[in-house]
Chains A and B, each alone.
Chain A
Amino acid sequence: MVDMTALSRVHGSAAAQGRMRRRRRAEVRLKVYGIAAILLAGLALVTLLWSVIGNAQGALTESYLTLAPDIAAEGVTADSDAEALRAVNFDGVTKDTLKAAFPDVTDRRERRELYAIVSSGAAFELRDAVLEDPSRIGEGAPFRFLASDDTDLYLQGFFGRLEDRAHSGQARFTSSDDGETVDVFLTANDLADTLLIVKERLRGSARTLRRQAALQDAGVRAFEREAEGATGEAREEALTEVRRRSDQRDRLIAQAEELEDRASRPSVAEEIGRSDPSILLRIGDTGWVKLTEVEPTGGRGVVLGPFETESVVDPSDWSYFVLDRPEAARSISDRQIVWIETLRSEGAVERQFNTRFFTSGNSRQPELAGIWGAVVGSFWTMLVTFVVAFPIGVLAAIYLEEFAPKNRFTDFIEVNINNLAAVPSIVFGLLGLAVFLTFFGVPRSAPLAGGLVLALMTLPTIIIASRASIRAVPPSIRDAALGLGASKLQTSFHHVLPLAMPGILTGTIIGMAQALGETAPLIMIGMVAFITEIPGGILDSASVLPVQVFSWSDFPERAFEARTAAAICVLLIFLIIMNAFAVFLRKRFERRW
């Protein structure tokens, strides 16, 4: 008989309890690893969705600038025929309208900047509006010009917002001799805090210089060590290197010290460069000055908007703004901001929901680009995929489950299907390129070619899902049908297939959802081409949503980033709908026996 007290002594001993604690700790550890893994995956998903949705917001609005174009100046009247109206240079009209709004802009380069606040598509919209309603010509009716992408980004606050700073001093502006710049004098230290920002940047530059100096210093010491160990020519070389590097170091340190010295004196004037925040003064309604040099009580600046100089301005009549993002780091200039702000204060700026994004085709101009062409292209492609893959997949599954003899050939087919499911998609693209495009002469970029390639890719998914669903139909159904005298084919098509259909459809929808998101094979067959028209059939050139996402993500304009993300959102919504439908089918119709 076992001595229980002895046993409990063994298990209750300090060593045993220590072992037990260790074992429990191992258990907790494994659990923590598991939870951490799940959380990491969740974090990745959340970050991904957040970065997509966060980026997409910028595509939801578009901006309009309302101006009154003078079309009559082009020599047409409301009674002119359509031919004459079509001949009008509406691009010129648009530019003239902008020039008329800001008559003091005379420099060629500045004019080009001015034209850039309006989209290049605005002139076409003006033409369409005039052709539709020629009475616009006579009245000089206001027209809503579509703003360019950068204007829209600015209005969205993408480049930061003009920050209205508190001030208390009276201001006096005196023109300098050349008339280009003005000197600003304030009766209070209003600009002191802004000057501090500039000084802070000097300190940052000084830190960078010191870091570079430290690297040079490390190099100096390394070569000194090398020089100690070496003799003759190698030593000479090392010493030269030491001298060169210490010179460099001393120069950097001197520069850093100078900057730090300037930074430490708060009242010394500083120049404002392109990589400093912009400081804009506004005088009255139209007057704007951009400071190029700042001290606590004034500075010097460039006139961007006309106003009366040489007079004293009360604090309530002038205001001052800081835009934190420097001019060098944004695609909109201070001048353009001034124009937009002037228009805004006149109530000529409007922002509204961007329906154009959902209804128009592709464009190189972000503000004109839309996804409708890609959505329609995706629709045609998916149609071809479904029409080809679904019947073939279901028939193949019926054959393999119900009719195939157990032999080598059937095994070979099965191995083939399993392998096809794991062949990289880009290889399917190469297959499509070689077989459909080159051999069968299907037109490039056509949904027909894309649909066929995707059908071949989706086939294994549909076959595998259909087989599982057919296999799940219990043999009793087959036996009953056969027992009543149905042929094997009748059994399969009249009894097994209807019962398996929900599962087959679920698998098909999931396969189609995969195909909808597929990109690489479609790039191979030329669906990445730039196509602005909405495709009207399966033989027209087209793009599809994911490929559009890919090509937009390559465009350099910042506004395309938001549009790419928004297109992804649309794609994801389609996928969610399809998958939700698949889940619904499974929940509602799938029977378990």
Chain B
Amino acid sequence: MLGYTLLLVIAVALGFFLVAQNRAVRVADGRLADLHSRPSYHGLYSLLWALIAGVGVLALIGIGGSWLVTSTLLGRIAAELPEALRIEHQLVLSDAQAIARGGIPSAVDALREAIAEDFARLDAIRRWGAMLAALVAALAAGTLTLSQVATPFRARNRSERIVRSLLLAAAVIAVLTTIGIVLSLIFETLVFFDNIGWRLDKFLFGTRWSPLSGVMEGRMDPERVGAIPLFAGTFMITIIAMLVAVPVGLFAAIYLSDFASARVRAVAKPMLEVLAGVPTVVYGFFAAITVAPFVRGQSTWIIPLLLVALSFFLVSVGLILLDRIVPGSGRRLRGAFNGLGAIVLYVVGAALMLLYTYSVNPTFSFNVASESALAAGIVMGIMIIPFISSLSDDVINAVPQSLRDGSYGLGATRAETIRQVILPAALPGIVSAVLLGVSRAVGETMIVVMAAGQGANLTWNPMEAVTTVTVQIVMLITGDTEATVAAGPAFTLGFTLFIVTLLLNILALRIVRRYRELYD
């Protein structure tokens, strides 16, 4: 109904465009050059005013009226059932609306029937009223502008001013969206905190998460809203994802920007783009159907393999840190044993790791949960690879060629140039790419909903099922619990998520901006 009204208003506005245009031509009486503005601008001016008036009135009465109807009826229901809770009033109202619209209500009684009748009446008044008022407003505004058509009338300047404000309005929508997000999240968050008696500490540092099990008369048990297991689960899956995505993405970017031939680039870059374009729900399916059963079924060799890879990573990081603390020591260690020092270190690291594993689990029979953090994290890492690689590729390419040329001129090899010139120069950009990757991993929903656990589980073991913030939001919102009860913790988690990702993004953008200034 309101949609048709909208179309009608648009049609009226278009009509005014033609009428005003014609009138301008007639006013000019054949000498179009006498007009200050071309006839189409007279038309545009009429069109814009008719449209603004019509749509404005429609929105005001359509939406404001709906709010008025709802609050009136809620007031009536509250008068009939003074002892019932607000939520029950709303239930009665939504049932009445269902009755009025021919839907399926949860219950039917005299009160609901009466309210339904009222609702149907008021709603009809609202819709017809909105339609009538919008049309009248559009017609009035259009007619008013028609009377203004004259040779000296500056229709172009006036309509351009209107269009410019429309442009500004379009740009402001982004700001409104942000405000909308913050307001809608903060409102429910405050309700939730009020619900748990402002025990923010219990939410931020508590270790027991089952918010819906402790609901008593609309109040929640502060002992059961500890979000630490969710934070820990999110953190673990993010770490696993970044352990996959950062090395692979970074090395891919280095190779593509400084080693690969044009042919390899022509294949590898679209491949990474395809990987980036795959919807997350497909990754979730992949994780649940392929990766998780594989990791679970082949754990006897996959887990040791991953542990060895982890030991390599730790040895590399250890050597770099050692170099930082005692300059040159890492390099000397690498060079020991006739240049085989690095290999010896890696082998020793891997052996120690496997020995430790053996001492804990002599049969190497790992019990990987079917919804392990490991599988979800690996797939999330795969999802983030193209993100890291394309961002790093950009920053590596943005390092001025003069730095490379200088390094080559001093006789450095390509590897040395990359490690000692390009990477340090591009480091801020890479760090911000990683931060943006982390922010993605933290906010990613579908992979973890489909492949990670649902029960809050505080553990260090990546082979167990853990749950994440996003999984809990989805479970709370889609669960069977009354929406008004579940919304509190869900929106609070959403708010936490929003703040964390916002901070990560701001930090990343800051770093990039500072770094850009360095070379521009």
Listed in ascending order, the chain A residues whose CB lies under 8 Å from chain B are 18, 22-24, 26-27, 29-31, 33-38, 40-42, 44-45, 47-48, 51-52, 55, 211, 214-215, 218, 391-393, 395-396, 398-400, 403-404, 412-413, 415-420, 422-431, 433-435, 440-441, 456, 459-460, 463, 487-489, 513-514, 516-520, 523-524, 528, 546-547, 549-550, 553, 561, 564-565, 568, 571-572, 575, 579
Contact = CB atoms under 8 A, between A and B. Distances in A.
A27 B363 contact: no
Contacts of A393: 170
B477 A398 contact: no
A547 B274 CA distance: 21
B66 interface: yes
Given A214-B363, A420-B177, A426 B416 contact: no
Interface of B: 63, 66, 70, 156-157, 160, 163-164, 166-168, 170-175, 177-178, 180-181, 184-185, 187-188, 247-252, 254-256, 259-260, 264, 268, 271-272, 274-275, 277-286, 288-290, 339, 362-363, 382, 385-386, 389, 413-416, 418-419, 436, 439-440, 442-446, 449-450, 470, 473-474, 477-478, 487, 490-491, 494, 497-498, 501-502, 505-506, 509
A549 B167 contact: no
Contacts of A487: 156-157, 160
A11 to B, nearest CB: 11
Contacts of B363: 211, 214-215
A30 B418 CA distance: 10
Given A22-B339, A396-B171, A419-B506, A424 B281 contact: no
Contacts of A395: 166-167, 170-171
Nearest to B386: A41
Contacts of B444: 424
A430 B494 contact: yes
Contact of A47 (B173, B184, B290): B290
Contact of A427 (B160, B188, B494): B494
A463 B413 contact: no
Contacts of B170: 391-393, 395-396, 399
Nearest to B446: A519
Contacts of B478: 523, 528
B271 A27 contact: no
A30 B422 CA distance: 14
A517 B290 contact: no
Given A30-B259, A42-B268, A547-B281, 12 more contacts: A30-B415, A52-B282, A395-B171, A426-B443, A427-B185, A430-B477, A459-B173, A487-B160, A517-B282, A549-B281, A553-B288, A575-B279
Given A26-B415, A550-B281, A34 B259 contact: yes
A550 B450 contact: yes
A11 B443 CA distance: 55
A501 to B, nearest CB: 17
A424 B181 CA distance: 11
A568 B382 CA distance: 18
A400 B491 contact: no
B279 A571 contact: yes
A424 B285 contact: no
Contact of B252 (A38, A218, A424, A565): A38
B74 to A, nearest CB: 13
A19 to B, nearest CB: 10
Contact of B285 (A413, A415, A565): A565
Contacts of B470: 424, 426, 520
Given A37-B252, A404-B171, A419 B290 contact: no
B280 A517 contact: yes
Q: Which of B171, B175, B264, B413 is packed against the most chain A CB atoms within 10 Å? A: B171
Contact of B173 (A44, A392, A489): A392
10 contacts: A27-B414, A41-B252, A44-B275, A44-B385, A52-B282, A399-B164, A403-B167, A416-B174, A420-B174, A430-B491
B275 A424 contact: no
A486 B256 CA distance: 46
Contacts of A27: 413-416
B175 A412 contact: yes
B289 A41 contact: no
A25 to B, nearest CB: 9
A413 B497 contact: no
Given A44-B385, A422-B439, A427-B185, A435 B180 contact: yes
A85 to B, nearest CB: 29
Interface of A is mostly: helix
Nearest to A489: B160
Nearest to B173: A392
A463 B281 CA distance: 25
Contacts of B256: 34, 38
Contacts of A399: 164, 167-168, 170-171
Contacts of A36: 251
A571 B282 contact: yes
A564 B445 CA distance: 18
Contacts of B160: 487-489
A218 B362 contact: yes
A28 to B, nearest CB: 8
Contacts of B166: 395
A216 to B, nearest CB: 12
A33 B251 contact: yes
A45 B275 CA distance: 6
B307 to A, nearest CB: 18
A51 B286 contact: yes
Given A23-B416, A518-B279, A575-B277, A396 B497 contact: no
Given A55-B289, A575-B277, A424 B445 contact: yes
Nearest to A18: B339
B474 to A, nearest CB: 6
Contact of B281 (A24, A412, A517): A517
Contacts of B289: 51, 55, 553, 561, 565
A29 B184 CA distance: 52
Nearest to B451: A553
A42 B284 CA distance: 18
Given A427-B185, A518-B279, A520-B474, A422 B501 contact: yes
Contacts of B264: 38
Given A52-B282, A440-B63, A413 B498 contact: no
A418 B181 CA distance: 15
Contacts of A38: 252, 255-256, 264, 268, 271
Nearest to B484: A438
Given A33-B251, A456-B177, A568-B282, A42 B446 contact: no
Contacts of B477: 429-430, 433, 523-524
B184 A403 contact: no
A429 B498 CA distance: 12
A281 B167 CA distance: 79
B501 A424 contact: yes
A122 B311 CA distance: 59
A420 B98 CA distance: 36
A466 to B, nearest CB: 11
Nearest to A488: B160
A249 to B, nearest CB: 15
Most buried by A among B156, B164, B173, B416: B173
Contacts of B416: 23, 26-27
